[in-house]
Structure 1
Amino acid sequence: MASTRVGSRPPPVRPTRPAVRSKGRRRRPSVRRFVPLVVVVLLAALVAVLWDRREELIPPMASQCSIPGSDVELTTEQAANAATIAAVARSRGLPARATVVALATAQQESRLRNLDYGDRDSLGLFQQRPSQDWGTPEQVRDPVYAAGKFFDRLVEVPGWETGRLTEVAQAVQRSGFPEAYQQWEPLGTALAGALLATTPDALRCGFPPPTTSGPAAQRTGAVAEVVRREAGAPTVEDGTVSVAGAGWPEATWAVAHAERLQLDRVVMDGWRWTPSTGWEQTPSAFALPLQLRLA
């Protein structure tokens, strides 16, 4: 076998010929040249689709109420029920403490909702039991009646005006969780303060534009009946319900009930409220009585 010595000359390397291109073949264009164009076309199509569906994609205004300067937020259903409770207390000339206790109690019992169910036969805002002499099932599910029955028993509790809230509420309700009411005293205090305030904008509520349903005269009559039970003696004219002698608590009551009553405007003493703007000053409406105008 031949041996290779270190330092010996390597074998010669033959030169390679360059590759010859075929004259009849063309080079294919790169796919990457078309990618930016395709992306632009797809984006333009997507923008066009989204623009056409913009109203569907934008979420509607939430139906809710809040108290400026606090973290209290409610649905419009809860706010309306709270406003009814405060209105019943006000109509009876009860002090603010009665409203605070009632609101805290209803928050614990039903989260301020007019429930059609409950423990055993408990129903309504205060989960009152027809079997315990609170009234018929239909009555205890009437917020005005239910609040009235609660206040009937509240004022019979010795020292209710100054007593600890949970003990006073328990004396009325006889709950299996007697300490549960106390946690809602801050909420009851803030909410009562807003509903009994003598200034505008104490309670802020907003909701999507009201949708009309039924003849205007029929709807106006229904609103007038609710006003009569909770806010004062109404006068009806041209789709507007007026309440002479009403103050800001009644105006706030109207705002809390606006979605339920299909109101698109509340006017009071130089101020105007709408679901989209809230309260705004309107000097042209100065000195008018409280007016509720339907959508």
Structure 2
Amino acid sequence: MHPDDPSAQELTKGDPATRPADSASTERTNGRHRVPELPRRGRTLLASMPMRIALATGVSCCLGLATYAGTRVEVNDRSEPSAEAVAERAALADERASRSLERTAPTTPVSPTPTASPTPTPTATAKKAPKKPAKPRRPRPVAGLTQAQMDNAKIIVDVGRKLDVPKRGLIIAVATAMQESNLYNYASGVLPESQNYPHQAIGWDHDSVGLFQQRPSSGWGTVRELMRPALAAEAFYLALLKVPGWQDMALTYAAQSVQVSGFPDAYAQHEQRATTVVNALT
């Protein structure tokens, strides 16, 4: 031991028998040198460390147990409610719903607002179908005529009105057609060509054809033209308008001046019926 070591010098002054009892426990030797003794405060802290560690460990365990217990309580609280609790909650919900309906229900019925139906918009590709022309209304037969006879009489009257022929001329033309063809469009058995066109009867009076029994050989027109009722009526009116004073003549004389018939007095018998027909068509 070195004489300059203060701790060694302090130990050698007293009696070894008078050393504290715990000095031997606090001293350790390493070879022939002893470990210096710790101060009293250090020894106190060192001695209390095991107790503090134990206390901290116990507190941690208590906290862990409390947390676990709280978790278990929370888990147990989440268990399914009893049937009585479920029924009570359902009754309370129904009561609240009924009270809500009573507050929000209108006092007077409100009629729904009518919504306008959507108007279809035409597409760019859609095209309207062309309208078919309306068929002309057929006149109701009068004076004992059939529908075909009445239709032919209407053609005669329509052509005369387009030519601005007076009503007297219309009556003369209808009476002449009544005598010549009984208001039927005749073809000729002598002219087979005439039978190639629409016709309602066939006659055998030379080459006379059509409503007015006009002869192509006499210059009235072609067979095709005379077989068309409108062209045959036009040919008759043009000839009548050339007769001087025809409006002041008796019907039979005016008709004979155009037709040059072998029976000049036969036209007069149709004047009354022709007047009835013209009145019905004009």
Relative contact order: is structure 1 or structure 2 higher (C-alpha 8 Å, sep ≥ 6)?
Answer: 1
TM-score, normalised via structure 1 length: 0.43
Task: Mark the structure with the bigger radius of gyration.
Answer: 2
Structure with higher strand content: 1
Structure with higher helix content: 2
TM-score, normalised via structure 2 length: 0.45
